[in-house]
Structure 1
Amino acid sequence: MLSALWRYRYFVMASIVGELRGRFARSRLGLLWSILHPLAQAAIFALVLAEVLGAKLGGIDDKAAYPMYLLAGMAAWTLFSEIVSRSMTVFIEYSATLKKIAFPRICLPVIVWGSALVNHALLLVAIAVVFLFLGKVPGVAWLALPLGILLISVFAFGLGMLLGVFNVFVRDIGQAVGVVLQLWFWLTPIVYPVSVVPDHLRWVINLNPMVPLVEIYHEAMVFDRWPDFAPLIVPVILSVVLLVLSFMVFKRASPELVDAL
């Protein structure tokens, strides 16, 4: 499968460009919508929680600290949720193409992965501009973000492709995952810091592999600190296991994939 991906690398790259163009066809703002949606969601959270409910970020007196915390967390979560959600439905979306054109089917989740990374890069640029308007100059710790991007995208890709294969055969998975992602979002410290979680619920945070990955963004973008690498061991192992398992399941189910569609 890896050699097939290499042979079809130009097809993958052209498909990523085509997907980005097609997603916002006849739209005047085009790719800007992929940036505006998470920014608008973070702005709504900041308005409701910071301005209306008076939420603040502990240890920092800056009024803009909480919106920056939200933007950093939303950036990490948007990358994860986009890859998982799109990978889960990509085989169903491209069912007609799979039946008419012969190409390695593994290309489809990789195309989703690539387009999500492009969207994420544009989002980070937009967030950096917002930070400058808020008086926060990106520091050297931002150089840790590629590590967060790599770990989150690999974890999301492995999980998304695994769910994508299962979703072809059992369509209920697609409905259930949407609910699970919403619950997972609120169980991850994105709109609240870890410090406010009650002690009797800390075990939920400790079991959540997205927590240390999102904290890479928080530490680098908000606090200008390098992440603690010790908590990343479990997410790294889990990401590798999911990636290998997803390739094994995909290879086993690939001959029956088109028939199930």
Structure 2
Amino acid sequence: MRKEDLAKLLALTRAEWRLRQQSTFLGFLWTLLNPALMFAVLYGLFVKWLGQAQADYASFLLIGIVQWNFFASATSYALSSLLRRSALLKNYPLPLEVPALAAVLSVYFSHLLELLSMCAILVLMGARPTPAWLWLLPIDLGFLLLAAGAGLLLSGLFAFYTDLERIWGILLTAGFFLTPVFYPLSVLTPEKARLLAFSPLTSVIEASRAALLGPALCGGVPPAWLWGAAAAAAGVIFLRLKRRAIGDIL
């Protein structure tokens, strides 16, 4: 990406973030309401059952919700980014990747604040910060690449298939239950656990838990980066191949 395009990306990211947060601290607190309510409901429902299978279930659940919420929010917001910024794309020379990446980055900035809040809550719950917590940084950057790649693909496909927004909502609902957000893989049969372990979301969430709660992290960072790099490359290639067709639709 050229230097001038990078400057446009940063400016548009700032504008998207202000639009989502209303440029206020209260706006950020509202974004915390959804994961907080989800945590309260899931913890109340499953702590008696899953709390026996998973130590520190509250911390385990909180990490899963925060990580899942980022992916769901980032991809959903990026999905309509090209149509949302169609006027800008028509009037200014701008790569198609910029609006989608700006949408994902604006959500990611909020996600970073959520991660800081989450770490503070984990300490209050009794977790002890260790050097292993620093592994969360490369894990999360790989996660950002994954969300950006998915967002790029979805934004391009949405230009052709406007029903994709509803379909993606359904897929996210299914994905939530097929990803170990609120349950450990140990409660599943070995066959089902191995199947779900192929998911990049499972890889990221499990690696995040290993970094923050233990046991020692093993093999979580490379899969996160591999999945992220593959998704980002696929997204960029798709938008560049379909640039003319998408431009005609916009």
Aligned length: 250
Alignment pair present for 1:92 and 2:92: no
In 1, Cα distance between the equivalents of 2:155 and 2:129? Answer: 37
In 2, Cα distance between the equivalents of 1:160 and 1:139? Answer: 33
Identity of aligned residues (%): 22
Contact 2:150 2:235 in 1 (8 A): yes
Equivalent residue for 1:43, pick from 40, 44, 65? 40
Equivalent positions of 1:9-158 (< 5 A) are 9-25=6-22, 29-50=26-47, 53-56=48-51, 58=53, 60=55, 65-158=56-149
Equivalent residue for 2:175, pick from 184, 190, 200? 184
Q: Which residue in 1 is equivalent to 2:203? A: 212
Contact 1:215 1:227 in 2 (8 A): no
Cα deviation, residue 56, structure 1: 0.7
In 2, Cα distance between the equivalents of 1:162 and 1:68? Answer: 33
Letter aligned with residue 136 of structure 1: A
Q: Counterpart of 1:147 in 2: which secondary structure?
A: helix
In 2, Cα distance between the equivalents of 1:203 and 1:177? Answer: 25
In 2, Cα distance between the equivalents of 1:139 and 1:214? Answer: 18
Contact 1:144 1:226 in 2 (8 A): no
Cα deviation, residue 242, structure 1: 2.4
Contact 1:209 1:234 in 2 (8 A): yes
In 2, Cα distance between the equivalents of 1:133 and 1:232? Answer: 27
Letter aligned with residue 233 of structure 2: V
Contact 1:20 1:31 in 2 (8 A): no
| Deviations 1:2-26 (CA, angstroms, capped at 9, x unpaired) | 12xx213333222222222222338
Equivalent positions of 1:192-203 (< 5 A) are 192-203=183-194
Q: Counterpart of 1:190 in 2: which secondary structure?
A: coil
CA RMSD, Structure 1 to Structure 2 (Å): 2.2
Residue ranges of structure 2 left out of the alignment (5+ in a row): none
Alignment pair present for 1:227 and 2:224: no
Alignment pair present for 1:252 and 2:241: yes
Residue ranges of structure 1 left out of the alignment (5+ in a row): none
In 2, Cα distance between the equivalents of 1:253 and 1:55? Answer: 46
Moved more, 187-196 or 8-17: 8-17
Cα deviation, residue 28, structure 1: 6.7
In 2, Cα distance between the equivalents of 1:12 and 1:200? Answer: 43
Letter aligned with residue 227 of structure 2: L
In 2, Cα distance between the equivalents of 1:78 and 1:251? Answer: 29
Moved more, 239-248 or 159-168: 239-248
Moved more, 109-118 or 23-32: 23-32
Letter aligned with residue 227 of structure 1: L
Q: Normalising by structure 1, report the TM-score.
A: 0.86
In 2, Cα distance between the equivalents of 1:211 and 1:171? Answer: 28
Contact 1:73 1:190 in 2 (8 A): yes
